[in-house]
Amino acid sequence: MKTQYGWEDFLQRFSTKVLWHFTGYNKNENSAFEIFKEILKERNLRIKNVRTEIITPSGKKRFGHPCSCMCDIPFKDLRIHTARYGKYGIAFNKTSAILNGHFNPVLYIHSGHFLFRYIEERLIDPIDKLIASSKHGKELEKYLLILGTYIKRSDLTARVSIGNRVVDVLQNNNFYYEREWRSAYQWKFKNQDIEAIMVQRKDIEEINNFLKEHGISNVPVVTYEMIKNL
């Protein structure tokens, strides 16, 4: 009997049916675990308190807005991502994240691209004047800030550096492999939007009790150790 395949059967190493949110970037394990539990308890994926601004060639920071981030990384490659973003993650239904969470893939642009020089040399001053003089200036500014959220500037020729905060902040890292998605909006998700969670093996009993206590059921729990050893 011939097996019938759908296109999704060929997407394993190209795309996934879920988007992962990790909580451990530049945080110790205890902090990452507490944030992870808070997200699940509140069913709320908040945007960050800091702007994800773009650094122009002269060093100015422009067009950034607070956001929340996820990644579209195939399961077998998650071990690379956890090296930077920690051992605690939540996998969300991709369709729901797109339609209800307003998540969209990040547009990666090389740090030396002429676009940034053109914006800085020809557009920033006229845009600032328009914002200051127009009765709709604040709305225009917010719109541009939100658009900037979905753009990520980095050195696409650089070798990937993990654990180097300075390289990250200066936007000199190669983030392209992260396959990041962003949203500029808070997302009050539902139980059915959670497809899986990742914790360390030592947290299994605690997290199972936590899920039961907070009315979260039928959610697969995978361990960081399993991801690490694949």
Q: What does pLDDT average to over the chain? A: 89
Percentage with pLDDT > 70 across the chain: 94
For residue 12, is pLDDT > 70?
A: no
Torsion angle in degrees (nearest 10) through CA of 137, 139, 142, 144: -70
pLDDT at 13: 67
Helix/strand/coil (H/E/C) assignment for every residue in 31-56: HHHHHHHHHHHHCCECCCCCCCCEEC
Residue 209 has pLDDT above 60, yes or no: yes
Give me 103's structure tokens: 């998540």
Query: What is the CB neighbour count within 10 angstroms for residue 141?
Result: 17
Of residues 3 and 179, which shows the higher confidence score? 179
Q: Model-level pTM greater than 0.85?
A: yes
54 pLDDT more than 80:
yes
* Cβ burial, residue 21 (10 Å; 0-12/13-18/19+): buried
Predicted confidence (pLDDT) per residue in 75-128, tens digit: 888 988 999 999 999 999 999 999 999 999 999 999 889 988 888 888 888 988
89's tokens = 């993650």
DSSP 123: I
Q: What is the pLDDT of residue 76?
A: 84
Which of 138, 122, 154 minimizes the C-alpha distance to 52? 154
Find out whether 195 and 18 touch, Cβ atoms under 8 Å: yes
Q: How would residue 2 be classed by pLDDT, with cut points 50, 70 and 90? A: very low
- For 215-221, what is the mean pLDDT? 94
pLDDT (0 to 100) of residue 68: 94
Quote the pLDDT of residue 44. 97
Residue 10 pLDDT more than 70?
no
